[in-house]
Amino acid sequence: MSLNMKVEQMMNFHQFEIPTAIKHGIGAINYVGEEVKSLGVTKALLVTDPGIYEAGVTDPVVSSLKESGIDVVVFNKVEPNPPVRLVNEGSKKFKEEGCDGLVAVGGGSSMDTAKGIGVEASHEGSVLDYEAAEGKKPLENRIPPLTTIPTTAGTGSEVTQWAVITDEDREFKFNTGGPLIAAHLTIIDPKLHVSMPPHVTAMTGIDALAHAIECYTMKFAQPITDAVALMAMEYGAKYIRRAYADGEDLEARYGMAQAAMLAGLSYGSESAGAAHAMSQTLGGIIPVAHGQCVAAMMGPVMEFNWKGNPEKFARMAQAFGINTSDMTTEKAAKAAVNWMYDLVDDLDVPTLEEQGVPTDQNTRFAKEAMKDPQTVGNPRDLKEKDYVWIYDRCFNQKAKTL
Ligand SMILES: NC(=O)c1ccc[n+]([C@@H]2O[C@H](COP(=O)([O-])OP(=O)(O)OC[C@H]3O[C@@H](n4cnc5c(N)ncnc54)[C@H](O)[C@@H]3O)[C@@H](O)[C@H]2O)c1
Ligand SMILES: [Fe+2]
């Protein structure tokens, strides 16, 4: 298969920067206290959501921090699609309590909230002032030492340079980011993933695969993001069904945690594509769960996109474990699309309609998706009518074999 990088792509000024130390392993959480201490933290704000806090998922983290002499202030109010007001509340607590470091334990919502709190702790004003958009202020200061401890294998926020925050007034999810906001350290322990219920495993796992798929096929992909994205797809494809069927399968949990982190390295450095443009803009309007919404969109998005880069879709089929040796490029590319439809079916992902998305607003949703910057790199050029077509397909699934 061709490596498929065009000369125009080689002429882009590509960058790959990762300011985050990545430490992982089954039982890695036992090292968190000493690791956070070595960052110079004496009083940490623990940022997490009430569900996992009450379920005791954060307990080993708190014990390890305390054993190493670190004071812990708990901020366990994280909500899905974290809003600006939550970040404001968290940074107020960080300052009032005199914290000097952040430890985020949870999924993307907790890790992004902690990044937002870090922005407000190190800059004047609100995180809203630092939206990655024209006319807004650039970030100038490194956030306080942040350790991310993911409890889902999904967003990859543990290693990305982005936080996704919801502006409730504008019904809009915005990004803030750059190397200054990335975690100083991530500790990835699949033991913390065992308590994830099957539906969370499914939606976050497909989200991780989606990051790799969208980044690998996008127009600005570069060799290093291709490398990590392909390995993320191999791990994800091999282990996602096992993690879904048996949450205590630690080998599968480890594989999925690697898939999410590797995918985060890929799209966190470049970008995703149509499914993320759609889900992010939809998530600002309707409180859909990010991963679940992406999962429901991936089949139709890939069905639309494969013609934009058949060679890379065919290469993806191999990463998914499909024997493509007797297939033409087109057939292998279509096999990758069908693989995703089957996966979404096997993992019982609810349709957008079942997720509460109204079926009569496709034009409005399409208009919003067009505004998202992730549209630009999508492997196939997108017009509003194309987004309408994809939304329409989302509402009129089930699996269509190409
Ligand atoms: N910063 C980034 O690079 C980036 C990238 C993609 C998405 N995001 C954002 O991340 C957010 C979504 O994050 P997410 O998909 O990880 O979901 P989440 O953090 O909202 O968590 C989903 C649910 O799973 C539960 N949960 C998490 N871990 C668990 C565990 N181990 N056991 C039991 N329950 C558990 C949580 O309590 C919550 O109810 C969205 O706001 C999305 O926009 C950020
Ligand atoms: Fe995502």
Do 111 and 259 sit in the same domain of this protein?
no
pLDDT digits (tens, 9 = 90+) for 276-327: 999 999 988 998 999 999 999 999 999 999 999 999 999 999 999 999 999 9
pLDDT in tens, 218-246: 988 899 999 999 999 999 999 999 999 99
Count Cβ atoms below 10 Å from residue 59 Cβ, excluding itself: 11
Q: Whose CA is nearest to atom 43 of ligand 1?
A: 164
As given in the structure block, the two tokens for residue 63 are 């014990």
Number of domains in the chain: 2
Ligand 1 near 281 CB (within 6 A): no
Q: What value does the mean pLDDT take over residues 258-284?
A: 91
Name residue, tokens 């290093």: 224
| 139 and 222 part of one domain | no
Residue 5 lies in a domain: no
* Strand, coil or helix: 279: helix
Is the domain of 205 the same as that of 331?
Answer: yes
- What pLDDT does 401 receive? 62
| Domain containing residue 91: CATH number | 3.40.50.1970
In-domain check, residue 93 = yes
- Residue 89 pLDDT > 70, yes or no? yes
* Ligand 1 mean position, distance from CA 177 (Å): 18
Query: Helices H, strands E: what count in the chain?
Result: 15, 8
Residue 308 Cβ < 6 Å to ligand 1: no
Q: How far apart are alpha carbons 224 and 387 in whole angstroms? A: 29
Domain boundary residue, one of 161, 193, 225: 193
Tokens of 4: 């498929």
Among 7-16, 83-92, 100-109, 372-381, the least confident range = 7-16
Give the closest ligand to the alpha carbon of residue 267: 1
- pLDDT of 374 strictly over 50: yes
Which residue's alpha carbon is at the smallest distance from atom 5 of ligand 1? 155
User: Residue 3's pLDDT is what?
Assistant: 67
Task: Give yes or no: residues 150 and 254 share one domain.
Answer: no
102 forms beta bridges with 45, 146
- Counting from 1 in the atom list of ligand 1, the atom nearest the Cα of 264 is 3
Which ligand minimizes its atom distance to the CA of 148? Answer: 1
Q: 179 and 299 in one domain?
A: no
Ligand 1 atom nearest to 194, measured from its CA: 31
Residue 317 resides in a domain: yes
pLDDT band at 2 (very low <50, low <70, confident <90, very high): low
376 vs 381: CA distance, rounded Å: 8
Closest ligand 1 atom to residue 112 Cα is 1
Is the CB–ligand 1 distance for residue 195 below 6 Å? yes
Work out the number of other CB atoms within 10 angstroms of the CB of residue 121. Answer: 21
What is Dmax (Cα atoms) for the chain? 65
Does the residue 156 lie in any domain? yes
Question: pLDDT tens digits, residue range 118-163?
Answer: 999 999 999 999 998 878 889 999 999 999 999 999 999 999 999 9
pLDDT bracket for residue 264 (50, 70, 90) = very high
Q: What distance lies between CA 336 and its chain's CA centroid?
A: 21
Residue closest via CA to ligand 1's atom 17 equals 107
Does residue 154's CB lie within 6 angstroms of at least one atom of ligand 1?
Answer: yes
- The per-residue pLDDT for 398 is 56
Using alpha carbons, select from 274, 257, 162, 166 the residue that is nearest to residue 214.
274
Res 60 pLDDT > 90: yes
Tracing tokens 């089954």 back to the chain, one arrives at 26
Domain that holds residue 278: 197-394
Give the integer Cα–Cα distance in Å for 175 and 52. Answer: 25
Q: What is the CATH number of the domain that holds 382?
A: 1.20.1090.10
Domain boundary among 193, 221, 255: 193
Tell whether ligand 1 has an atom less than 6 A from the beta carbon of residue 108. yes
Whether residue 290 has its Cβ less than 6 Å from ligand 1: yes
What is the average pLDDT score of the chain? 94
Q: How far is the CA of 261 from the centre of ligand 1 (A)?
A: 14
| 109 within ligand 1 shell (Cβ under 6 A) | yes
What share of the chain in percent tops pLDDT 90? Answer: 85
Cα radius of gyration rounded to whole Å, the chain: 20
The answer, yes or no, to whether residue 332 has pLDDT greater than 60, is yes
Is 192 close to ligand 1, i.e. is its CB under 6 Å away? yes
Instruction: Tell me which of 193, 208, 232 is where a domain ends.
Output: 193
| Within-domain flag for 402 | no
Q: Quick one: average pLDDT of 336-364?
A: 95
Q: Is residue 80 part of a domain?
A: yes
Answer whether 314 contacts ligand 1 (Cβ < 6 A). no
State yes or no: pLDDT of 24 exceeds 50: yes
Most informative mutation of 262, 290, 297, 298 for ligand 1 (most atoms within 8 A of CB) = 290
Q: Do the Cβ atoms of 222 and 16 come closer than 8 Å?
A: yes
pLDDT at 284: 86
Is 1's pLDDT higher than 50?
Answer: no
Q: What pTM does this model have?
A: 0.95
- If asked whether residues 230 and 373 sit together in one domain, one would say yes
